[in-house]
Amino acid sequence: MTLTLGFSPCPNDTFIFDALIHHKIDTEGLAFDVSYQDVETLNQQAFQGKLDITKLSYHAFAYAVDDYELLDAGSALGFGVGPLLITKDAEVARRLQAALASGQALDETQKALKIGIPGKYTTANFLLGLAFPELANKIELVFSDIESSLIAGTIDLGLIIHENRFTYQEKGLHKIVDLGDFWERTTGYPIPLGGIVVKRSLGQELKLKINALIRESVRFAFAHPKSAIDYIRSHAQEMEEAVMYKHIELYVNAYSEDLGTDGRKAIGQMFDRAIASGVIPAIRNNLFLTDR
């Protein structure tokens, strides 16, 4: 049986799924037709129900929850892994940092700043809305284009994710705030970034098998961290190996193997806050795949 599977070409995802899609583990008769897309494209495909299994941002999951449920395996949660809000202008960075620290309202010039975001439904954009609700002049860009747009001056602020958090300083850009750190300080929970969901319409036995296989793929990756190096590099061609593994260490951890109680609580906290603030609609369905 072949199932459609979508995830990003970023090192954390290729690291997680290498053993599964290349049959380094026993996939028990399942094969996978893989689609590599950036996270916002995956979000949009989930809204259309295109894939049997897909990575998506937790923000987007709120709008796809009628069709999908969340697996315990494959997620990206953790401490110190959040998106960064950055700028080319050090004085802009200083003034926005001061406003956030003091809780003061932004002035009209600050409100007008143009922000490049990696997608409306990304968790990064959700966190930006919690920290700076007045920053609404947003333009959606592919995440890998945000740094270059800042340097070119076509945007004033950039919301960066993935490997860009390791490279922005080399390009003379300045951090305003680590939105993951902002989340952690205000909630005490790890930040939920992206999860793996499966179509509700698939049979329960099949969904549980998929969850178990992804968990086994993560375990294989942890046990054989260099096994996937050629595959990871083929989808991260401009990235040095040291940066690839920094990326993996940051986003792949125990929560990727199994959300556990703390991971589920963190996700529940995110959805509760988003619903209370009107960022997402109320949720009617159970979020999590259950073996009950």
For 138-188, the pLDDT digits (tens) are 999 988 889 899 999 999 999 988 667 777 878 889 999 999 888 888 888
Domain count, the chain: 2
Distance (Å, whole) CA 278 – CA 292: 31
pLDDT at 180: 85
> How, if at all, do strands 157-160 and 53-57 pair?
unpaired
Residue positions in the annotated binding site? 55-57, 123-124
User: Best-predicted range by mean pLDDT among 23-37, 126-140, 161-175?
Assistant: 23-37
CATH number at residue 146: 3.40.190.10
Residue positions in the annotated binding site for substrate? 55-57, 123-124
Distance (Å, whole) CA 148 – CA 171: 9
Active-site pick, 162, 174, 224, 247: 162
CB of 17 closer than 8 Å to CB of 5: yes
Instruction: Say whether 22 is catalytic.
Output: no
pLDDT at 143: 81
Q: ∠ CA 136-137-141 to the nearest 5 degrees?
A: 110
Q: Are residues 62 and 205 in the same domain?
A: yes
Percent of the chain at pLDDT above 70? 97
Q: Which domain holds residue 106?
A: 84-187
pLDDT at 292: 46
Phi, then psi, of 149 in degrees rounded to 5? -70, -35
Average pLDDT, the chain: 90
Q: Are residues 214 and 257 in the same domain?
A: yes
Does 105 have pLDDT greater than 50? Answer: yes
Q: What single-letter DSSP state applies at residue 278?
A: T
Can you name the residues that pair with 84 across neighbouring β-strands?
160, 178
Q: What single-letter DSSP state applies at residue 202?
A: S
Q: Please measure the distance between the N-terminal and C-terminal CA atoms of the chain and give it in whole angstroms.
A: 25
Under 8 Å CB-to-CB from 114, ≥6 apart: which residues? 137, 138, 139, 154, 155, 156, 157
For residue 286, being part of any structural domain is answered with no
- Give this prediction's pTM: 0.81
Distance (Å, whole) CA 133 – CA 153: 23
Q: Are residues 143 and 11 in the same domain?
A: no
